[in-house]
A and B are shown apart, each in its own frame.
Chain A
């Protein structure tokens, strides 16, 4: 089965004063991978700046713009069409036991290969005083432990917008127990890493038809590396595994590696930014 999606990303920026010179970098193009085929990209902006396609430091595709004329207001609109195929991961229950896993993970090669996703970052560090927030059960398999972690994060944090922002660290999130998808994801990743299981932050889009949390903005979820199975996506905001509704853009150590919009703006005074995302899906039967 595969599904055709149309993703629309709109950003509007308004500045108090004239902007002479500005650069933007958008990290919003769906990744091409085993389950995602990009059909078309359409990108436009209100000041008619030329779109440049490039990469970021981790090799993910970006769109970059450079303004040449003065402006106070600018809007961007991107439309992506893609085909998403998805098969439920099947061998999940055969994932290694914790004991087998730790045997494997204690090898230096494993540590070197996965170091980047085992390293606690500014946004994925758990304060020392909260080191035992969630305990892995040695009698369960890795997959079962991660599923219960997914469920635990889902219950622990109350989905609330406007309390945290993209710079909020876990000490604050743990104290407030409120936040949005990136906070759920950072907490999930932090605990997974703390238990020696490589975890990465995924930025992308979520098909909103099913009424999930985090549907009118870009979404975030986690991928963890389970030996013999590979990278498996967990969406703690919705307490599910990543599935055909999750359209991946990129991954990184945390939000800082995946920030959808980066700008270098030469102006003074305040500015307002708004983003919106819509995802429309259409079931399509494909003969395999």
Chain B
């Protein structure tokens, strides 16, 4: 037994500077991973190589792919999946779940406030300029009451574990967070490959996401609607997350539509069907604000529906998430999250924030410019890991470049100390062995009318390149099945 174990984990190198998710500081396997470690150790590396390639082709065959932008040829890729799951025990999960709900609720109250009374701005707890200078602030949303009072129906919160063993939130994604379909596919793939391992753990299911999502959408139906007709709107098959859009529509049992499938008449939204127009009441939209309605926002948008915003403003259709929500997931607003949580909920934040320097503040700008090599520099309004610079990986020339960019547009950048993401054993094709790789966790929180739900699982993303700290799929990351254990 020991021998075989050696085969798989013998070459596993533990860097003592990093927080390892399965080994404790003395190099012992943590109790919660013990059984899994024994079971995996019972397989040979060759078994692994075979299982791994099977899992890969199964993803391809099911069309579970995404596209990477910015390369010469847009490429269809599978999201690399790792067979060794991550386990989160029930006590730790409770913190994550409560913390995710707390943040989502606080963000929702914040959005209501800044599009209505603006008290948090009047009390100067969050600076007025920070909100109104955000590219995602929509003047048109002022005074609009979204059905059920909900703005961020679906939030994707990115959490890491630092060296100190504590969880920190890196960002809140409340525009169109994606990735939940991978959570479910990863579970399915692992069950197919290694069904037996599930017998040894009491793991929460993740397949109940779709029913909760539908439940949420129905809870925020427009006034006067009895049984709402819900749809998912996608930019189309060329979008990087198209697989997810079709997956969610299919599993909820609702139509997947593009802008051209819908039209607005007398401020109501209809779907074209072979049986004639069918009224639509709730739209789970996976297109960005500015593309929603060419008559209101970008006139050249071919993705949206002319007249949709007026229908929304009149309360005849619900959009989830609400337009203008992106103003609150601006990375500069992120830095005020502890204050925002205290202001609206009167509570201390359950999950920690990473200390953030605002380049828009002269004193902090100075510090950032002088300490780029110790910091992560992030543009405030980009998603998907684009435009991030990690100070200690930059050449002198690149540092100068970044310094210049920040000086030109200070409002556009924030900086954070380089956080050391925890590592997890991950099977690496190239070396045919397990190695330490950095991981994070995206949780999916649903907020509806009298409804709160956090998917008990979430997406553990892995930076597959050794030492890399950026885990986004568009930056070459992979993912792991994430087990949340039931209370004993």
Contacts and interface: CB of A to CB of B under 8 A. Distances in A.
Contacts of B32: none
Interface residues of A, number: 22
A21 B115 CA distance: 35
Given A54-B307, A264-B294, A253 B122 contact: no
Contacts of A112: 118, 121-122, 128
A57 B128 contact: no
A209 B124 CA distance: 51
A264 B314 contact: no
A250 to B, nearest CB: 13
Interface string B103-129: 000000000000000100110100010
Interface string B126-153: 0010001000000110100000000000
A1 interface: no
A264 B309 CA distance: 15
A252 to B, nearest CB: 9
B306 interface: yes
B132 A119 contact: yes
Contacts of A103: none
B181 to A, nearest CB: 32
Contacts of B132: 115-116, 119
A108 B266 CA distance: 40
B121 A116 contact: no
B307 A57 contact: no
B92 interface: no
Nearest to A22: B306
Contact of B306 (A23, A58, A108, A109): A23
A23 B307 contact: yes
A64 B139 contact: no
B296 interface: yes
Interface in A243-266: 253, 262, 264
B267 interface: yes
A58 B309 CA distance: 10
A158 B141 CA distance: 38
A55 B121 contact: no
A164 B295 CA distance: 23
A134 to B, nearest CB: 25
Contacts of B306: 23, 25, 64, 66, 264
A161 interface: no
A255 B295 CA distance: 15
Interface string A40-74: 00000000000010111111001010100000000
A57 B309 CA distance: 7
Contacts of B139: 57-58, 116, 253
Contacts of A66: 263, 265, 306
Contacts of A3: none
A160 to B, nearest CB: 27
Given A64-B307, A109-B122, A119-B132, A55 B313 contact: yes
A56 B122 contact: no
A25 B299 CA distance: 12
Interface string A263-277: 010000000000000
Nearest to A24: B295
A264 B295 contact: yes
A111 interface: yes
Interface string B304-333: 001101100110000000000000000000
A27 to B, nearest CB: 10
Nearest to A262: B295
Interface string A103-133: 0000011011001100100000000000000
A108 B119 CA distance: 11
Contact of A108 (B128, B265, B299): B128
Interface in B229-269: 263, 265-267
Residue among B122, B263, B266, B310 with max Cβ neighbours from chain A (10 Å): B310
Contact of A52 (B118, B140, B265): B265
Nearest to B123: A108
Contact of A57 (B121, B265, B294, B313): B313
A57 B307 CA distance: 10
Contacts of A57: 139-140, 296, 309-310, 313
Contact of A58 (B122, B140, B314): B140
A109 B140 CA distance: 20
B285 to A, nearest CB: 16
B69 to A, nearest CB: 26
Contact of A111 (B128, B295, B310): B128
A57 B124 CA distance: 28
Contacts of B142: 116
Given A58-B140, A115-B132, A253-B139, A108 B124 contact: yes
Nearest to B139: A116
A66 B294 CA distance: 13
A56 B118 contact: no
Contacts of B295: 23, 25, 56, 64, 262, 264
A254 to B, nearest CB: 12
Contacts of B267: 52, 54
Given A23-B295, A119-B132, A262-B299, A52 B121 contact: no
Contacts of A58: 139-140
Given A115-B132, A253-B139, A264-B294, A55 B310 contact: yes
Given A23-B307, A57-B313, A108-B128, 15 more contacts: A25-B307, A52-B266, A54-B267, A54-B307, A55-B313, A57-B309, A64-B307, A66-B265, A112-B118, A112-B128, A115-B128, A116-B139, A116-B142, A264-B294, A264-B295
6 contacts: A54-B266, A54-B314, A56-B310, A58-B140, A108-B124, A262-B299
Interface of A: 23, 25, 52, 54-59, 62, 64, 66, 108-109, 111-112, 115-116, 119, 253, 262, 264
